[in-house]
Amino acid sequence: MELVSKLAREPWTDRPTCVHPTLSAVARAVHDHSSSIGRQALLPLAPSFIGTAQTGFEPSARVVALCVSTALAGGELTKDERIRLANAHQTAIHLMSGRDEPGGAARWWLPVLGRFGWSEPFYRTFVATEHAAEAVAVTARVSNSDCDVRLRQLLKQCLAAHGARRPGAPKPSCSTPAQKPWS
């Protein structure tokens, strides 16, 4: 994310404003759980993150659902991990489709914060980032020998699920007001 911040001509940070917070959390988690060779293989993806910051439940929920589904398919999870990830998945599906009830603590904070218009920024900035990062950590733990490949593929899938632009496509601006974290 530091490279992305420089490519976007932002101050040096691992949380550039032009990158969606959930995608940024996934990228940081993938980076942290990759080997040094795996980290080098992530560098060509950096330009794809520029201009992904947007509001709305759906972009965050799609990334969370993808990361959690990948982690749950990995197999060897503790009971607590399985419960937390299942609740995260249920909440993400609820936010994308409106079906079912949200899982876990979201049953309580979604309606309460929604009264003030705070539920979406809270989910995008805090909840989704934690759910996605935990799912990446679980995926890394159960991936064993092909960890770098699986994590890089998951990051590419998250970019695609989020609707990030492809390398070589025109670069969007990172300074639009809709891309501020709490707008």
pLDDT tens-place values along the chain, 183 residues long: 888 888 888 889 888 989 999 999 999 999 999 999 999 999 999 999 999 998 999 999 999 999 999 999 987 889 999 999 999 999 999 999 877 788 888 988 999 999 999 999 999 999 999 999 999 999 998 877 789 999 999 999 999 998 765 555 544 444 433 333 333
| Rounded-to-10 torsion of CA 110, 116, 121, 123 | -10
- Domain for residue 151, yes or no? yes
Taking the C-alpha atoms of residue 135 and residue 157, their distance in angstroms, rounded to an integer, is 14
- Domain for residue 14, yes or no? yes
For the chain, the domain total comes to 1
Q: Half-sphere exposure (CA, 13 Å, Cβ side) for 58?
A: 6
Tell me the whole-structure pTM to 2 decimals.
0.85
Note down the domain range covering 135. Answer: 2-165
- Domain for residue 88, yes or no? yes
Residue 175 to residues 19, 63, 94, Cα–Cα distance (Å): 11, 23, 31
- Domain for residue 117, yes or no? yes
- Domain for residue 170, yes or no? no
- Domain for residue 153, yes or no? yes
- Domain for residue 17, yes or no? yes
- Domain for residue 172, yes or no? no
DSSP 78: -
